């Protein structure tokens, strides 16, 4: 039962076998994933983990239908079984099918993509990583901080895709990141957490240093301590300024997901849901105010949704999703573009691992920056709240009705930050919410998510989101003790 | 997936654990064959099978722990992984809370494996879907999933634990949508055995709801009487489990049970166990540390009795593990209550509905979360069958509503309970932090609706 490395020639052989058996399309994709993580809890090392996972996924279109099989074995019997199973599954699919699969055309691709980094995060000695985290932990200590956790992680993914159309591409993607959380607890008060698990970038160790985790730990500690004793907010329409970290999630949930084209085809209707942004709405639907433009871009340096090619073999592209408040575009795969009868505007077919069928996922979906400095944006607020980081979030199956709460709400008074409030949440409808945006600042920054959940079986995808501070007028907030 | 069986799966683990370069060690192996066929517009659009093996080894040197995973089951590869884990431990720092690896204990005789289910073919899964699609009336279309999983789990430790169990799981769901109006209905079956799936009945239940779900109106926010069907209750139990039923959450002050064990926390009609050995559920009879799973009373007639524990949280709380350690790559440390059993009652669905003066019926939820974990508060929108009940009868279809309320407050208002059935919440049905529930439908005096989706 040994997992064996699959050679490039074996991939070519597999797609040739598929073609000889009548498949109109086939691809074979090896994926090797490595991950190292160190975590420290309350000053002590909580865990040191190194994971490895490698295997092969194989897709065919046969009789107009998909079949997919995946294995982490690579002996001859396993590979023969893989091909047989993929064809069996395609035949079974064809037995209950009203619409045959059509792939939007692309030119065959060849080449390599590698993440550029200064220092390999896997090469940083474990002792150095632990020392770094212990310094971060020490900075998190506070009079009411009951639990402190911090972690550093490195990820490497090697992929090789060969298709029956002549595509042969390989990629090595390296990511580095950190996690940080504190929980303030005091008798008679509601516990106040402050955390961020989205500090991750396609980069080397230099990104971990760039994060300045010690300073961030102090800030989180101070936010949690202050929130613990803060007065309860008052329910009323309020000017909300969102930090880029918060907006990254809002963009993800309320623009990224509803523009996934597989939702139009109801591929996700029973689980992830559909959308409120239909093809007939393109160019017409008022999604937000004229300040709101959003772009999907798989070429952003350092983005967690950046790659050379997606898992259909489509080269990295960028496309507009929202243009000055109007809905204009979708995230597509070759299959969904083919079904919609449009060219591939951006390749977004992605699989979490070798064992997963590629489906439409976000790449880097970002709110375009404005031109106003953040300080000027803030000066325009007489009375409002700065929403620094999301806590709970919940969306309906069309990505239209949403509810967010925040870990940290800071009071804005006459353009200045002045204390904290607690208990702040808001629910809204997507176009109504983005329609209230009256300014986007110029301090655009990139955030990374490791675990966007979608698909069956569940696939946790890496995606990137950029945003700047932005201001929203008269947002009704709700308050919970 | 061909089952390896206990001897073949455990042999390389035992071999690798001889002469381990560490003070102690354990290995957990999870093998999984997952066949998932998805359909929409009454047509299969995805048909995937994956066959994978994951071994997680832990090596402990002077109370410092290193963890390494591999896909290989060769003894030599496992030994290499143990060596790597020992190197990580050597470079790490001691963990004062390390409880040691598990000692052997008798594993309960329990099987959640069904041979015929393990042998299910792609053709059989397609036939289930074909049967659903054929049973859906004209003017409606179906979407959903047919899924079969076969697993093998094994744990061995340097202290002599040697545990093995296979499982099977069969699942079929149908979402039926109208072709002519905005409306949908949903039904599913979940079982350890393929003969527990009934495609025609699923299609009929979903289609019946879809037929009712037309001409929706919006419901004003407020408190309403409510009937929660099984899937909706499972969603509330999920929030309760993730926020409050693990030993670590209690210890860190994040749980509703913190400082309240032995106190009344909700209504007398609410009793909740974690009971993996109930013959109606699907479980491995030991956890990833090799500890047998215990039956744990979590809440008894509204009184908090205590959480579940893994070895680390148990040591910290001065008690014994209840066998609830879970895969650390998928679950928070400190004990995972993943086989819930909520006490049910004799009420039929008709009786539940008939007991409501004016209220809502909720089929299931979508994308729930918790804005207040300490209070086990859940927020989420309903979907695929939300109805207004007036004078004991369903009178109108409703646009999806947003519900926001503490689970403890909801369960404090239970008036009636129906019979239990096996179900999973929306997240778990897709493998996200999986929790299986033996769960009844309930009628409650008060459910707080905080908003409505558009029509």
* pLDDT tens string A102-119: 999 999 999 999 999 999
Distance CA A92, CA A81 (A): 16
Q: Can you tell me which residue has the tokens 């009704």?
A: A476
Percent of chain A with pLDDT over 90: 92
Handedness of CA A260, A266, A268, A270 (dihedral sign): positive
Cβ contact, residue pair B372, A480, below 8 Å: yes
Q: What is the mean pLDDT of residues A449-457?
A: 94
Q: How many residues does chain A have?
A: 481
Question: CB within 8 A of B179, min separation 6: which ones?
Answer: B139, B140, B141
For residue A426, the chain B residues in CB contact (below 8 A) are: none
**Does ipTM exceed 0.85?**
yes
Handedness of CA B229, B232, B236, B238 (dihedral sign): positive
The 10 Å Cβ neighbour count of residue A104 is 21
The domains of chain A, with CATH numbers, are 8-228 (3.30.2290.10), 237-479 (no CATH)
* Crossing angle between the packed helical segments A213-228 and A126-140, to the nearest 10 degrees: 30
Distance CA A112, CA A115 (A): 10
What are the beta bridge partners of residue A151?
A39, A179
C-alpha closest to that of A317 among A288, A346, A342, A287: A346
Predicted confidence (pLDDT) per residue in A236-263, tens digit: 899 999 999 999 999 999 999 999 999 9
**What pTM did the predictor assign?**
0.95
How high does pLDDT run on average in chain B? 96
Stated as kind and residue range, the H or E segment containing A39 is strand A25-41
**Predicted local confidence at residue A2, as pLDDT:** 53
Q: Which of A38, A52, A66 sits opposite B47 (nearest CB)?
A: A66
Q: Can you tell me which residue has the tokens 């760039």?
A: A210
**Predicted local confidence at residue B328, as pLDDT:** 84
Query: Between β-strands A365-367 and A294-297, what pairing exists: parallel, antiparallel or unpaired?
Result: antiparallel
Distance CA A347, CA A55 (A): 23
Q: What is the mean pLDDT of residues B298-304?
A: 98
DSSP structural state of residue A12 = H
For residue B242, the chain A residues in CB contact (below 8 A) are: none
Whether the CB-CB separation of B209 and B176 falls below 8 Å is answered with yes
Predicted confidence (pLDDT) per residue in A155-199, tens digit: 999 999 999 999 999 999 999 999 999 999 998 898 899 998 789
For residue B235, the chain A residues in CB contact (below 8 A) are: none
The domains of chain B, with CATH numbers, are 5-209 (3.30.2290.10), 215-455 (no CATH)
Tokens of B83: 């060596």
C-alpha closest to that of A405 among B406, B379, B371: B371
Distance CA B443, CA B269 (A): 11
Question: How many angstroms from the chain centroid is the CA of residue A141?
Answer: 31
Is the per-residue pLDDT at A481 higher than 80? no
Closest CA in chain B for residue A481:
B372
C-alpha closest to that of B59 among B103, B101, B15, B14: B101
Distance CA B248, CA B310 (A): 9
Question: CB within 8 A of B312, min separation 6: which ones?
Answer: B97, B98, B99, B248, B333, B334
Predicted confidence (pLDDT) per residue in B123-147, tens digit: 999 999 999 999 999 999 999 999 9
Q: How confident is the model at residue A131 (pLDDT cuts 50, 70, 90)?
A: very high
Tokens of B214: 């037309």
Distance CA B71, CA B89 (A): 21
Distance CA A76, CA A64 (A): 27
**Looking at chain A from residue 388 to 407, which residues have their Cβ under 8 Å from any Cβ of chain B?**
391-398, 400-401, 403, 405
Inter-chain contacts counted by CB atoms under 8 A, chains A and B: 273
Q: What is the mean pLDDT of residues A409-422?
A: 96
Q: What is the mean pLDDT of residues A86-99?
A: 96
């Amino acid at each position: 039962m040994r997992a064996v490395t699959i050679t490039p020639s074996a991939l070519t052989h597999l797609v040739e076998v598929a073609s000889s058996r009548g498949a109109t399309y086939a691809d074979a994709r090896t994926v090797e994933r490595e991950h190292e993580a160190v975590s420290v809890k309350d000053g002590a090392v909580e865990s040191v983990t190194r994971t490895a996972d490698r295997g092969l996924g194989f897709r065919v279109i046969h009789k107009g239908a998909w079949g997919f099989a995946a294995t982490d074995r690579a002996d001859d019997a396993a590979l023969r079984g893989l091909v047989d199973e993929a064809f069996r599954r395609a035949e079974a699919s064809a037995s209950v099918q009203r619409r045959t699969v059509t792939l939007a055309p692309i030119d065959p691709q060849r080449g390599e993509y590698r993440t550029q980094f200064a220092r390999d995060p896997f090469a940083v000695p474990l002792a150095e990583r632990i020392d770094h985290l212990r310094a971060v932990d020490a900075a998190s200590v506070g009079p009411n901080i009951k639990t402190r956790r911090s972690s550093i992680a490195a990820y490497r993914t090697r992929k090789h895709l060969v298709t029956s159309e002549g595509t042969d591409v390989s990629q090595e993607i390296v990511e580095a990141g950190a996690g940080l959380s504190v929980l303030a607890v005091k008798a008679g008060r509601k516990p106040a957490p402050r955390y961020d698990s989205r500090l991750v970038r396609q980069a080397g160790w230099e990104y971990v240093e760039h994060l300045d985790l010690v300073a961030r730990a102090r800030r989180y500690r101070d936010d949690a301590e202050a929130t613990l004793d803060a007065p309860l907010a008052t329910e009323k329409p309020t000017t909300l300024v969102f930090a880029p970290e918060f907006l990254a999630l809002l963009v993800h949930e309320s623009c990224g997901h509803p523009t996934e084209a597989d939702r139009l085809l109801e591929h996700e209707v029973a689980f992830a849901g559909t959308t409120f942004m239909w093809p007939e709405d393109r160019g017409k639907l008022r999604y937000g105010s004229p300040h709101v433009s959003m772009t999907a871009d798989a070429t952003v340096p350092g983005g967690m949704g950046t790659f050379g090619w997606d898992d259909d073999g489509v080269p990295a592209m960028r496309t507009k999703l929202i243009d000055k408040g109007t809905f204009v575009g979708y995230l597509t795969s070759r299959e969904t573009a083919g079904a919609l009868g449009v060219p591939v505007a951006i390749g977004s077919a992605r699989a979490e691992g070798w064992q997963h069928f590629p489906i439409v996922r976000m790449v880097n979906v970002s709110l375009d920056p404005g031109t106003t400095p953040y300080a000027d944006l803030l000066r325009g607020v007489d009375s409002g709240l700065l929403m620094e980081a999301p806590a709970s979030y919940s969306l309906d199956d069309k990505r239209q009705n949403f509810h967010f709460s925040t870990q940290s709400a800071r009071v804005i008074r006459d353009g200045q930050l002045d204390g904290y409030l607690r208990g702040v949440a808001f629910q809204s409808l997507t176009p109504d919410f983005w329609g209230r945006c009256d300014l986007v600042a110029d301090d655009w920054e990139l955030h990374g998510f490791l675990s966007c959940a979608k698909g069956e079986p569940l696939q946790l995808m890496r995606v990137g989101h950029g945003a700047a501070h932005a201001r929203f007028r008269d947002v009704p907030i709700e308050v919970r003790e | 997936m061909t089952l390896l069986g206990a001897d073949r799966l455990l042999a390389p683990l035992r071999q690798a654990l001889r002469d381990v370069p560490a003070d102690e060690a354990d290995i957990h192996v999870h093998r999984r064959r997952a066949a998932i066929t998805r359909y929409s517009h009454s047509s299969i659009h995805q048909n995937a099978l994956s066959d994978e093996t994951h071994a997680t080894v832990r090596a402990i040197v002077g109370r410092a722990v290193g963890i390494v995973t591999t896909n290989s089951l060769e003894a030599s590869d496992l030994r290499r992984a143990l060596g790597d884990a020992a190197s990580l431990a050597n470079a790490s720092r001691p963990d004062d809370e390390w409880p040691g690896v598990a000692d052997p204990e008798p594993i309960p005789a329990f099987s959640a494996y069904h041979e015929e289910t393990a042998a299910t073919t792609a053709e059989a899964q397609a036939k289930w879907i074909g049967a659903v699609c054929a049973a859906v009336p004209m003017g409606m279309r179906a979407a959903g999933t047919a899924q079969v999983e076969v697993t093998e789990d094994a744990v061995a430790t340097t202290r002599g634990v040697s545990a093995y169990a296979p499982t099977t799981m069969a699942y079929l769901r149908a979402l039926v949508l109208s072709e002519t109006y905005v409306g949908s209905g949903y039904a599913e079956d979940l079982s350890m055995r393929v003969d527990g799936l009934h495609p025609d009945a699923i299609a009929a239940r979903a289609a019946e709801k879809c037929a009712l779900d037309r001409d929706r109106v919006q419901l004003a926010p407020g408190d309403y009487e409510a009937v929660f069907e099984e899937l909706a209750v499972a969603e509330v139990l999920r929030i309760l489990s993730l926020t409050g039923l693990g030993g670590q959450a209690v210890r860190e002050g994040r749980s509703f049970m913190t400082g309240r064990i032995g106190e009344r926390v909700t209504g007398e009609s609410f009793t909740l166990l974690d009971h993996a050995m109930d013959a109606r559920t699907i479980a491995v009879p030991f956890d990833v540390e090799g500890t047998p799973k215990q039956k744990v009373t979590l809440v008894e007639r509204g009184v908090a009795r205590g959480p579940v524990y893994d070895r680390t949280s148990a040591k910290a709380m001065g008690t014994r593990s209840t066998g609830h350690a879970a895969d650390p790559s998928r679950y928070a440390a400190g004990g995972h209550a993943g086989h819930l059993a909520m006490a049910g009652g004799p009420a039929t669905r008709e009786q539940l509905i008939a007991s409501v003066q004016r209220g809502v019926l909720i089929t299931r939820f979508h994308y729930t979360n918790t804005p207040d974990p300490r209070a086990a508060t859940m927020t989420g929108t309903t979907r695929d069958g939300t109805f207004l009940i007036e004078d004991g009868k369903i009178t109108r279809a409703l646009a999806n509503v947003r519900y926001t309320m503490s689970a403890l407050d909801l369960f404090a208002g239970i008036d009636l309970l129906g019979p239990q059935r096996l179900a999973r919440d929306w997240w778990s049905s897709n493998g996200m932090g999986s929790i299986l529930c033996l769960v009844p439908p309930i009628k409650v005096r008060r459910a707080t609706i905080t908003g409505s989706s558009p029509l």
